[in-house]
Chain A
Amino acid sequence: MTGTGYTWLLPVLVLLPLAGALVLLAVPLLSDRLAAWIGTAIGGVTLLLSLLAAFVTWDRGFGRMQLQARTDWISALGLEASLGLDGVSTPLVLLTALLAVLTCLHLTRAEPDRLLVVCVLTVTGGAIATFTALDLLLFFVAFETVLIPMWFVIGVWGDGRQEGQPANAAARFVLYTAAGSAVMLLGIILVITRTGTSDITELIQRGGAGLSATTQTVAAVLIVIGLAVKTPMWPLHTWLPPAHTIAPTTGSVLLAGVLLKLGTYGLVRVAVPILPAGMANVAPWLGGFAVTGIVWAGLACLVERDLKRLVALSSVAHMGFVLLGVASMTPTGLQGALFANIAHGVVSALLFFVVGALKDRQHSSDLQQLGPGLRDRMPRLGWLLTFGAVAGLGLPGLAVFWGELLAVAGAWQSSGLGMLNRPFAVIAAAGTVIAAAYWLRVLRVLWQGRPEPGQGPDATRHETVTMMPLVLATVGLGLVPGPLLGATAGVVRLLLPGGGAVP
């Protein structure tokens, strides 16, 4: 049952932010601050609509595609503009809409700029389109839509204290991801020409039927490489630290909370269900790179001196858990991956807000320059940082814990990873220890110690209001993981070959 009514919801969800961006772009008379408030309002409406969409989808059952809307677009390529929402996409749409509101709200005080709001709204629309697209080519077009606005955000509003750095970081970001997605496009075209359809629901139902194992493997390799650049997977992650570090707070939050999710969503929506036989061959490699990334990024964090860069590198480690969960090809692992995906989005967005606030005050995010005694100097920011850090190290009761636990458990029981399943799980578990070590190191340097006199003010009410929803979400997901796990529970079985039965 696709259900009737509310079919306007998803097209509106996609088009509203894009139309808002277009209007703000076309009206140069608006003041920057007003533009930020308009952006916040558009984001707010988007959030309300996505809550409505989530409610309707929940009501009708997360297990199937709900609220489907479709229309012909390019029939010569078989491309239909079709959208739908299920348990995998709903949380991601909610997260995207929430971050759109928060980043626009952030922009009303700090560094307001009309064109930056345009970029934020375009990224929002593109990301929602990616999360709801039910056509492979439409998915690809939407996937690419976020690139250019994000490139602008990093290149134009990046931290320009060193000449040419924002341009370099932005160029590296866009060239890496564009090269990756061009390779992914080859895989997508291969799937479409061999199956004769680009309808994702249809392709998921077929579950790779009609595609030879070789074709599936080639397509899976191409698609996974493309998505792995975006996710990012070690060793294709080298665009991420400079991009995150140079980007303004808005950009870092969007990168961590929205862009990185596109890659993992693609793996779960496209690679795993459509090319099961191919993924079976690719999964051990994916798992290997994932655990390498967890350990490598963790070790890098142990010696990293720049706090913003550290948060960025820790993202590579967190996404390693997500990739490991996907590579396990088990319901547990996949659910863990999807949970960790959302959790990482919430927690790293929070951390980037905090680090951005610190950086605004000290004009540096170097651990030495930020200095000791944060607890006494800026208690509110200090507590928020501590909260983000303990969430990031996977403290039970906070969001990240559940996702990583399930991902590791999935890897442990995975048959797809073969002999390597338990070694991978053990190495990944060791990664959480490293995470604890580097976050505690940060806290030892920043939170404790004797403060130096003459420092900036504590978090304003505006900043606190911006960050609070993320704190609440972290606690909420940590204490009550049930609803999110319930949303994905039904779907992951449909996405895995053979209903995800563990032999």
Chain B
Amino acid sequence: MLTETSARLTGVPSIDLVALLPVIAPVVALLLILLADALRPGLRLPSDLIGLAGLLTAAGGVAYLALDGEDRNTACSGGFVVTTGQTGPTRLPESLSPAEFGFGCSYVVSDLTLAVQGIVLLGAVACLLLALNGPGAKDRTAHHTLLLATVAGATALAGARDLATLTVALETATLPTIGLIALRRDAQGAQAAVTMLLTAIASLGMLLLGIGLLFLATGSLYLFRIADVLAAGPDRPVLVVAVAGAVLSLAGIGFKVSLVPFHMWTPDTYAGAPLPIAAFLSTVSKAAGVSAAVVLLGIGLPALHEAWAPLIGILAVLTMTVGNLIALRQNVAVRLLAWSTVAQAGWVMLPFAAAGPSRDSVREATAGAIGYLLAYVVASLAVFAVVVLVARHHRSGEEHTLQTYRGLSRTEPVASAVLAFALLCLAGLPPGVMGLIAKVVALRPVVDAEVWPVAVIAALNVALALAYYLRWVALLVAPGDRSAPRWRLRPAEGIVLGGAAAGCLGLSVGAEVIAGLLPGILH
């Protein structure tokens, strides 16, 4: 009531706090940690707990909103116009619809929003737990606040429905990761952070230029409005500007998703960052990038599918082929994972190659991408959990090679079973049914649209990726050093390992979740 009144008086749109809980909770936690650090520097457990509580509250918000089932729009502009020469905002006449003047809602709670937020928070909780004994121990406050800021950006991104919110959220989800990468505090870490910084700036430039062009072409920042304008069949010059804007924004987002040819930063950054941060980059950051692409293309620009769908098709198969070919030759575990995440990004974006004129085909593509993303994130977390444990227990540390895993199944049977299962999920072969169903979900729109070159190259990439995943699995069971010391699992790591393993197993049995993540219409 109060917010409505204030909205009427000031022109500032009303805010639905429950709808925004997944965004607000991490921010509140961030502020509390800063406050606690200012009052009593060096607090350990409380700041860990506040960080976790923030993420879990956000997750609770997502769960509540999903169960509630009601679609909520918030931060809506109600049709106020601030004109020069007057004292205050003026309301549009009742006879005119706000939408016609390019107004709409900046934040929407839909199936898409909640699915992406769920994936982001899942990854964030796991990465926070993994980091508690690593980078999160040395620079607790810095790590926790930067991580929470990224998460807030990523969750906001999922609900963002206007170009300005989208950009701000995407940068909020990107810039703090530079600080996270630099937490390693050695030359390599610094280099990785600088690489990420330069990448972020370059991609931000392209994104802003692209968004500017889109605004220029359509006259609105709101994605629904942009979609309407473009669907109405504008003139050719307008269309050209819009397509240029779409391509540039896509390039900007392509950096975050590490699509080839915007992937060059990925391996160096992963190898230079602390391992839990690499896990964070490959799950939460990637999910944020994917959701930016999904929101922009699927909701804002479905009418331009003729321009971006073939482009995405080419980028997707290029990404998976290049990623897989280079991953074949990697020997350092984290570098192999970096290239494998590049390849997996190709799979996540693959369904968009099939987007057609119907709303339904765009929805199918989005459902495929998000379903694949979920499977990829869960499997990646399981792999990273084991890699972090190996790094902690071996001399070579975070830069350990695959040879470190030789014979691991004899000394650590449970962890190696989890690793093997997760790798097979990434490869998409039973017993990793989760990954297989994800590949079916990603391939289905492409086959349905009969984009055969893309479909066949993607299918052959399954075998290509299998080669290096299986090389890793083979080392686990190879005869090796039986005298290696047993691991001492810390509770937080145990939770992540167990949780991710349970996730892989649960989603393999209940693969329905992956296939049916986005049942409703796309908005």
Contacts and interface: CB of A to CB of B under 8 A. Distances in A.
B511 A73 contact: yes
A155 B512 CA distance: 33
A185 B440 contact: yes
A156 interface: yes
B467 interface: yes
Interface in A48-92: 73-77, 79
A152 interface: yes
Q: Could you tell me the dominant secondary structure of chain B's interface residues?
A: helix
B495 interface: no
B360 interface: no
B516 A178 contact: no
B467 A175 contact: yes
A230 to B, nearest CB: 13
Contact of A167 (B430, B439, B474): B474
Interface in B426-446: 429-431, 433, 436-437, 439-441, 443-444
Given A144-B429, A148-B430, A179 B470 contact: no
Contacts of A235: none
A175 B459 contact: no
Given A148-B424, A178-B463, A183-B456, A193 B474 contact: no
A329 to B, nearest CB: 26
B459 A145 contact: no
Contacts of A148: 424, 429-431
Most chain A C-beta atoms within 10 Å of own C-beta, residue among B424, B430, B443, B466: B430
Nearest to A189: B447
A185 B455 CA distance: 10
B46 interface: no
Contacts of A183: 456, 459-460
A147 B470 CA distance: 12
Contacts of B443: 185-186, 189
Contacts of A175: 463, 466-467
B415 to A, nearest CB: 14
B42 interface: no
Contacts, number: 89
B109 interface: no
A182 B463 contact: yes
Contacts of A190: 447-448, 450
A417 interface: no
B519 interface: yes
B477 interface: yes
A476 interface: no
B193 to A, nearest CB: 38
Interface in A171-192: 171, 174-176, 178-179, 182-183, 185-186, 189-190
A151 interface: yes
Interface in B475-523: 477, 511-512, 515-516, 519
Interface string B324-336: 0000000000000
Given A76-B512, A141-B436, 6 more contacts: A73-B512, A74-B515, A147-B429, A182-B459, A189-B440, A190-B447
Interface of A: 28, 73-77, 79, 115, 126, 137, 141, 144-145, 147-148, 151-152, 155-156, 167, 170-171, 174-176, 178-179, 182-183, 185-186, 189-190, 193, 218
24 contacts: A74-B437, A75-B512, A76-B519, A77-B441, A77-B515, A141-B430, A145-B431, A148-B431, A156-B477, A171-B470, A174-B466, A175-B463, A178-B462, A178-B463, A179-B460, A182-B462, A182-B463, A185-B440, A185-B443, A185-B459, A186-B443, A186-B455, A193-B444, A218-B452
